[in-house]
Amino acid sequence: MLHHDDALGSDHWNDKRIDVNGRQYALPCKPVAVICIDGFDPEYLDAALADGTMPTLAAWVQNGFACTVDAAMPTFTNPNNISIVTGVPPSVHGVSGNYFLDRDTGIETVMVDESFLRTGTILAALAGAGVPVASITAKDKLRKALGAGLKGISFSAQHAGATTLEENGIEAAEALVGRPAPDQYSADLSLFVLDAGIALLKEGRAKFLYLSLSDFIQHAHAPRSAESDDFLRAIDDRLQAIETLGARVALTADHGMKDKADGAGRPNVIYLQDYLNAIFGDDAVRIICPIADPFVRHHGGLGSFVRGYVRDGISVEDVLVAARKAPLVAEVLSAEAAAQRFSLPIDREGDFVALAADIAVIGASAGEHDVSTLAGHRLRSHGGISEQRVPLIASHPLVPGSADGILHNWDVFDVALNRMVRS
């Protein structure tokens, strides 16, 4: 649906707006980019600002707009990216984790397929209104969900070597960037996303960009480590390039990232399924750790939010009481309480939700998680309340009086398209 709005008299914006999921968005005539820096905890931003590691971003904080907002719970990549591109929480769009247990079949089902999305995306609506849109992600699984209904350019750095006009809206994305698709576990996977966006801007092929990075570096490297500083400098160089090409930018993160290891460097982990089954019997409780998908055990598949499923004949209430006494567990909520408090779709909940203490993660069973993949690093992860606060930064100041109500990372499209000053 299009609306005319005479107040939008600026050459950066069209005089039309679109309605998506209860909000209106102005249509850009000049480039606008929304960037999701995966795992960009406020600690990385604070260190970068104090140390001068990200001068472009520092200038935006100074001269544009910056605040801290809440990510969607659970603080995982997919629910948050989908919240960002739909402008609504998981209770509305339906994706509340990377996978869930299908109660009817007992099968662990990946939830990034677009068939799990219950709403349209702002990206698809912008493209539908005639704006040339490009959505570029680090990983291909996320690309598929974000590209739902999108008639534009949509590809991942991971599969940049195999893009087709039919599937991705672009042939040979590798050639666009001028280097091969990076390894999926590399810093370059994120930088490739940004470089692809820059190339599209240079060629005038996109007026709206959504660029979603990977948290590979943040999972292994704390703020102020050499690896983190190098990565943030490389991101900042690209932010400057995007700004120089005339784009307005709003950026946020899908979640924060916290240290989850003890003084000796061992992960602070409670295997909650093992713990509860020792009390209630074998197979009494199934714990699902929806941070990763069931097939890729990246960072050991350990995060700070899990869902529990209780076998028929066992009292859920008794299990809740026992789970609350488990070490390193901060909170245990019934499905209804979790859905209400965190705006989650109740039909995709388990029987309960368990949240780890800030310094800890929750696993299912010791045998299911391979912590050897940490390769000598302290475990850093996310998923809980302690990773909910994230930065939201705009390259330009906001219209006076329009900073109220920016509370969540899924407000970033509203900031990018509606709230920055017009001139």
Which 3-state string (H, E, C) describes 58-84?
Answer: HHHHHHCEEEEEECCCCCCHHHHHHHH
CA dist., res. 365 & res. 270, Å (int) = 9
**Smallest distance from the beta carbon of 58 to Zn ion, in angstroms?**
23
- Asked if 154 touches Zn ion (CB under 5 A), the answer is no
Q: Which residue has the tokens 């066992």?
A: 314
CA dist., res. 58 & res. 52, Å (int) = 8
User: Which residue lies nearer to Zn ion by CB, 58 or 142?
Assistant: 142
User: Which residue lies nearer to Zn ion by CB, 38 or 43?
Assistant: 38
Site string for Zn ion, 92-131 (x = CB under 5 A): ----------------------------------------
**Smallest distance from the beta carbon of 175 to Zn ion, in angstroms?**
28
Query: Is-contact 412 251, C-beta < 8 A?
Result: yes
- Of 14, 77, 135, 304, the residue at the interface with Zn ion (CB under 5 A) is 77
Surface-to-core class of residue 298, CB atoms within 10 Å of its CB (0-12 exposed, 13-18 middle, 19+ buried): middle
**Binding residue count for Zn ion, defined by CB under 5 A:** 4
User: Which residue lies nearer to Zn ion by CB, 188 or 215?
Assistant: 215
User: Which residue lies nearer to Zn ion by CB, 41 or 236?
Assistant: 41
**Smallest distance from the beta carbon of 263 to Zn ion, in angstroms?**
27
**Smallest distance from the beta carbon of 220 to Zn ion, in angstroms?**
13
- Of 41, 195, 229, 254, the residue at the interface with Zn ion (CB under 5 A) is 254
- Of 41, 195, 215, 236, the residue at the interface with Zn ion (CB under 5 A) is 215
Query: Is-contact 182 192, C-beta < 8 A?
Result: yes
Stretch that binds Zn ion, among 35-43, 154-162, 176-184, 322-330 (CB under 5 A): 35-43
User: Which residue lies nearer to Zn ion by CB, 81 or 418?
Assistant: 81
Which stretches of 251-384 are DSSP H helices? Answer: 272-280, 316-324, 335-342
Length of the chain (residues): 423
Stretch that binds Zn ion, among 21-29, 178-186, 215-223, 316-324 (CB under 5 A): 215-223
**Smallest distance from the beta carbon of 84 to Zn ion, in angstroms?**
11
Encoding tokens for residue 299? 């960072």
Query: Is-contact 384 304, C-beta < 8 A?
Result: yes
Beta strands in 5-64 (DSSP E): 13-20, 23-28, 32-36
* Residues in contact with 275: Cβ distance below 8 Å, sequence separation at least 6, in sequence order: 323, 326
User: Which residue lies nearer to Zn ion by CB, 16 or 297?
Assistant: 297
- Of 31, 38, 153, 271, the residue at the interface with Zn ion (CB under 5 A) is 38
CA distances in angstroms from 12 to 144, 222, 319, 416, listed in the order given: 30, 38, 56, 12
**Smallest distance from the beta carbon of 77 to Zn ion, in angstroms?**
3
> Which residues of the chain form contacts with Zn ion (CB under 5 A)?
38, 77, 215, 254
